[in-house]
Structures are given as structure tokens and as C-alpha cells.
A and B are shown apart, each in its own frame.
Chain A
Amino acid sequence: AQSVTQLDSHVSVSEGTPVLLRCNYSSSYSPSLFWYVQHPNKGLQLLLKYTSAATLVKGINGFEAEFKKSETSFHLTKPSAHMSDAAEYFCVVSGSWDSKIIFGSGTRLSIRP
């Protein structure tokens, strides 16, 4: 069985400071891991994905995530937050043949001016 836990329901940072959104996963086999972003009244957009290649994955808009098997983590980071980053972020795990994906409960990112 697979599951994913997002450790923070809400994160607030000041513009220009680093962002860290935490995600831990559980999977009985080698997973694929994704981060999606959802802006208000907009669809889910893929930020980045890990599929057993390089453990440090770079995505769009300056985001990146590091797969750490020993810690079963896939935290999302960005060096410098921008006001446009304010949104809901979802960590997602997949890996079975049916490509069914499991979403975390989401982390709402707020950016203070």
C-alpha cells in the first residue's frame, strides 16, 4: 500500500526567503513521486517528478525536490519565495502498474510581502 503525508497544512514565509514544504511517503515498492501546485480557481499543474533517476529533481518556477530513500522523504524547496508562489501544493505518490496516484492532504503556502 502507498501513502503520502504532508507534514504542514499551512506554511507562511516572507517574500525573498526560502521555502520548504515537507512530504514523507510510504510505498512497498520503488515509487514515483510528484509535486503538483493548485492556484485558486485553476487546475492542478505538475511542478516536478522523481522516477528513479537523479535524486535531486529540478522543476518549474525555481522549485526543486530531493528524494531521500533512507528518510522516505521528498521535500520541496525554493531558494527565494515570490508572491506568485502562493498556492496549494500537493505531494503525490505513484508506482503501481495502474498508474493510480495518491495525493497528500496539501500544504497551503502563503507569502508575506
Chain B
Amino acid sequence: DTGVSQDPRHKITKRGQNVTFRCDPISEHNRLYWYRQTLGQGPEFLTYFQNEAQLEKSRLLSDRFSAERPKGSFSTLEIQRTEQGDSAMYLCASINNWGSGGEETQYFGPGTRLLVL
């Protein structure tokens, strides 16, 4: 257990429905990252937050995706009008970053596995 939790662990939905995932990072961590992992691939970066500010979004994050971290603690990732191609594992990770430039270990949650029927 890394201290990062995600909810739910599994989600099955029908195409066209909206889904929302939650990530609770390690409490003192100021940065939070979202990744997507499809079968047989490594995780791919989606977006990240420093405190409550969303600093970067990957081009993988279409307009149907939105992420928030309203109080700089937990974060939510919402997918609207889900498509079968959205089926994947969605991973969250957190770090303490104070400008040391990439040396920090990212602590990953267990992921939310999404299946869109």
C-alpha cells in the first residue's frame, strides 16, 4: 500500500454514460498526476496538478475528459459520453515536488479499471 487510494477500483458502464473517478494522494504531496494504461502498454501521461492548479494536459485528454483538484487534496477525473476506446486502467500518482527537477519517486494508487460496453 503506497498511501495513494483510488475509487472505485472497477467500473463497468455503457457507451455514452458519464463516469467519475476519485484519487486521494498522500496528504503532504503537492503534485498529483493522472495516467491511462491500456492492455499491453505502459502508462501514458494525461494531466497533472500542482496543488489546485492544473498545469498540463496531454493531447490524449479529449474534450470529453475533465480533471479537477479543487482544494489541492483529492482529485477527480470525469469522462463524459464514454466510448469503447476509453476502456483502460486509470492510474493516479502523487509526489512532493519542490523544484528538485524530476528525482522524486511517484507513488501510484491501485488504479481504476474502466470497461465501456
Contact = CB atoms under 8 A, between A and B. Distances in A.
A96 interface: yes
A82 interface: no
A44 B105 contact: no
A109 to B, nearest CB: 14
A103 B44 contact: yes
Contact of B99 (A42, A46, A97, A102): A97
A94 B56 CA distance: 16
Contacts of A44: 43, 91, 93, 108
B42 A100 contact: no
A17 interface: no
A6 to B, nearest CB: 8
Interface residues of B, number: 30
A96 B101 contact: yes
A105 interface: yes
B109 to A, nearest CB: 6
A34 interface: yes
B21 to A, nearest CB: 15
Contacts of A43: 2, 4, 91, 108-111
27 contacts: A32-B102, A34-B105, A42-B110, A43-B91, A43-B111, A44-B93, A44-B108, A49-B105, A51-B103, A90-B42, A95-B102, A96-B101, A96-B102, A97-B102, A98-B55, A99-B95, A99-B97, A99-B101, A101-B45, A101-B102, A101-B106, A103-B35, A103-B42, A104-B42, A105-B41, A106-B40, A106-B42
